[in-house]
Amino acid sequence: MLSRNPSVRSCFPAGFSNSSLDDNGQASRNSSYGTSPATATPSWSQPNSSSRACRTDDNKPLTCAQMPTSGADLVINNPSKLPLPEYASALRVSYQTHATYHHPNNKDVNVSSATPVQVVDKFLPDPSLAIPRPSVLPNALPRVGSNRTSTRLTLYAPLHQAAMKGDWGKAKEFLNIHPGAANVRITNRLETALHIAVRAGHIGFVEEVVKLMSVSDLERRDKSSNTALFVAAASGITRIAEVMVKKNKLLPGLRGNKGVTPLCIAAQKGHRDMVWYLYNVTAAEYLNQEDYIGLLIATITTDLFALCLIQHNPELAILRDSNGETALHVLARKPTAFSSKNELGIWEMFIYPWIYVEPVTKCSYPSGMSKPCHCDTNQAFIGLAGRLWHAIQKTIPGHKAVCRKKLLHMQAIVLVKLLWDQILSLEDAQITDILRIPSQVLFVAAEFGVVDLITELFQSYPDLIWRVDEHGRSIFHMAVIHRQEKIFRLIHDIGAHKDMIAAYRDKNNHCILHLAGKIATPNRLNIVSGAALQMQRELLWFKEVEKNVQPLYKEMRDSNGRTPRMLFMEEHAKLMKEGEKWMKSTASSCMLVATLITTVMFAAIFTVPGGNDNEKGTPIFLEATSFVIFAVSDALALFSSVTTILMFLSILTSRYAEEDFLRLLPQRLIVGLTTLFLSIAAMLVAFGATFCIVLSQRLAWIAVPVAFIACIPVTLFAFLQFPLLLDIIQSSYGVGIFV
């Protein structure tokens, strides 16, 4: 039996036609050489048979003439000028009495003798190649490696490079020599030049190559089953997609890898404009329910918020994706979609209330995904005043970023309302099923702090406050566990019901105060910097929960016999040690700096700039304004640094009891950091004044640049230490995290 060799394409027996080759040039599974020991000699290989037309790897004719008898020369015409080594290794002719064109690396062919080869073209034969006379017919034709693929890659390398670089000039020259090459797969990933240009984002190249391709050619797929439009959808360049869809309207309906549509992949990548375009050109019959819910989930995940999609297809509110989740489940895990101070800087928090965004009540953006950021003036501003305020807003630093965030917050709230309104139209059992499976929406939202979603659900379905999870915990218990102060604040809105909810105990017999005694999860603990401030925040949480429960809860014991206070001390013992270490390290570093400033400032007052009058002993520049500035700033720096030393010394000698982390230690740290900042600033002012006194006679202009340079370290210190200082002040003296 002669087994087929899928790698052989250059020369094949009769009955093995091109139709037996797949699109990658491989033999199909149902093709076979169809020879057996009784019929091993193909008709075309009989001695002195007439010439037969075969094909080379580049699909050009190859003539096999005068097939020799045993021992005669094999004459081969090679009009395609295929390089001999590739040519030789690709040709396989095997029969009982005639020679086989054989490559020496194929050791599985047993031969007894060999005769030379005569090649009729400009290429000389490889001396290592010969025509052997087989003594034993091999069981299988030897497989060819990647010779055919390597030849194709080499031949089309210029086109590949031109497509990657977007060089249409060179590509056009190549296509003039090789017509039809635009439709050939020229990479190992079976990509055409169009795939490559689309991936590289060369719009001009794509426009030109599309003109040369037929409608069906645009549907060619790469090794991952992706069309060029699918690649364009993933890249997000809308113009490229427009060029291809204009020529072939069916492209948006052709699915890519894993059966994903171009529209869905664009949504998953977060390409807003591409989603809008494909949403409008993709026919409805190309999308099923799984596509629509997948699209909705993808737009929520990437902050596109498909308001139109849910308005036009309200049934999507109750559909589940491949993970069994509804859109409401996804929103419950997305706190960044809702207003949060944690994601805003100091400046952004300041201007946030002043930026007016047009209310989002319906889908007015044709994309159906997200309305553009149209920030307008408050409706109270009209006429000239309104236009003036609108112009002023645009000049505010960070205006666009804050505007977009505020718009996204509003869209997320509207989307929650649209989804919840559809869910409320169901029966109670169906509502419960949606809220509980696969995870409980309420408790997921409580874990991530999505207070807007919970508030919306409570307003129309108040009974939800009594719901508990599988551990017997309410959303307020979850808020305490995950330290979500916004959720816990809602307990003040339920009045007397809070005592009943606070009485709930979980499976470990923990009341809500026990849960406050457990240490927070790392992601919530690291909201503030420094172990000491983390300890302070944990104490604030424990105190706040303690204020909202009845006194008897303080002495309740869990399954292990521990009261809430005992559990708190046990859970936070390590954090207290780390807080003590952090405080002492900070105090030591700051005290060292303050000591240096004290030393320098104390010495400077006795070595005044310009010296003293020899007769009176008074400073020579006593009447100069610069000297007065020097004297005042020197004294201020000295006194501030001494105060800093005393404050940090008291921190080092503190007892570090549990309650000290709540007020005493933070207060001393605030005073110490403030006076240290003042001492550094005053020291630099004193230096600048001294510099001006010394050089005022000859270099009066030097005062301005010196003053500017002196501001640099002060500003640097402020940027590095002020956030920490503000955090301490806010937690110690501010309105509190629960207000």
Query: Which pLDDT does position 274 carry in this prediction?
Result: 95
**Domain harbouring 665, CATH code:** 1.20.140
- What's the gap between Cα 542 and its chain centre? 36
Q: Decide if 344 is inside a domain.
A: no
* Same-domain check for residues 499 and 623: no
Phi, psi of 438, deg, nearest 5 = -80, -20
517: Cβ contacts below 8 Å, ≥ 6 apart:
542, 564, 565, 566, 567, 568, 571
Question: Could you tell me if residue 231 is inside a domain?
Answer: yes
674-683 exposure pattern, b = at least 16 Cβ within 10 A, e = fewer: bbbbbbbbbb
The pLDDT of residue 195: 96
Of the residues 287, 313, 342, which one is the last residue of a structural domain? 287
Burial of 96 (0-12, 13-18, 19+ CB in 10 A): exposed
| Domain membership flag for residue 182 | yes
pLDDT in tens, 369-400: 444 444 443 444 445 555 666 666 667 776 67
In 425-496, which ranges are continuous DSSP H helix? 428-436, 441-448, 451-460, 475-481, 485-489
Structure tokens at 672: 């110490």
Do 4 and 119 belong to one domain? yes
**Do 127 and 210 share a domain, yes or no?**
no
Looking at the structure of the chain, the number of domains it has is 4
> What DSSP assignment string belongs to 274-296?
HHHHHHHHS-GGG--HHHHHHHH
* Together in a domain, 537 and 639: no
545 and 597 together in one domain: no
Q: Is residue 295 part of a domain?
A: no
600 and 529 in one domain? no
Q: Domain ends where: 525, 544, 574?
A: 574
pLDDT score for 494: 83
CATH code of the domain in which 257 resides = 1.25.40.20
Residues in the chain: 739
Shared domain check, 131 and 48: yes
Q: 375 and 268, same structural domain?
A: no
Query: Given this model, what pLDDT does residue 308 score?
Result: 84
For residue 664, what pLDDT is reported?
A: 92
> Positive or negative CA dihedral for 546, 552, 553, 555?
positive
Do residues 54 and 16 make contact, with C-beta atoms less than 8 angstroms apart?
no
In this structure, what token pair is assigned to residue 175? 């296509």
Helix, strand, coil share of the chain (percent; to 5): 55, 5, 40
Number of H helices, E strands in the chain: 30, 8
Residue 150 lies in a domain: no
Handedness of CA 547, 548, 552, 555 (dihedral sign): negative
Range of the domain at 206: 156-287
Asked whether residue 273 is assigned to any structural domain, the reply reads yes
Q: What is the pLDDT of residue 344?
A: 67
Query: Tokens at residue 290, please?
Result: 């799984």
- The segments of the chain whose pLDDT lies below 70 read 1-152, 339-346, 356-394, 398-399, 610-618, 621, 623, 696-700, 703, 734-739
Q: Are residues 560 and 588 in the same domain?
A: no
Question: Measured between alpha carbons, how far is residue 524 from residues 71, 449, 528, 567, 660 in Å?
Answer: 86, 11, 9, 19, 22
Domain edge (last residue) among 574, 595, 610: 574
Please report, as a single letter, which amino acid is at residue 613: D
Q: Could you identify the residue written with the tokens 């409570």? A: 458
Same domain, yes or no: 619 and 544: no
Domain match, 160 and 129 both: no
Evaluate whether residue 349 is within a structural domain.
no
Long-range contacts from 105-110, C-beta under 8 angstroms, 24+ separation: 106/142, 108/138, 108/140, 108/142, 109/134, 109/138, 109/142, 110/134, 110/135, 110/136, 110/138
Residue 133 has a pLDDT of 35
Asked if residue 473 belongs to a domain, the reply is yes
Q: Are residues 553 and 593 in the same domain?
A: no
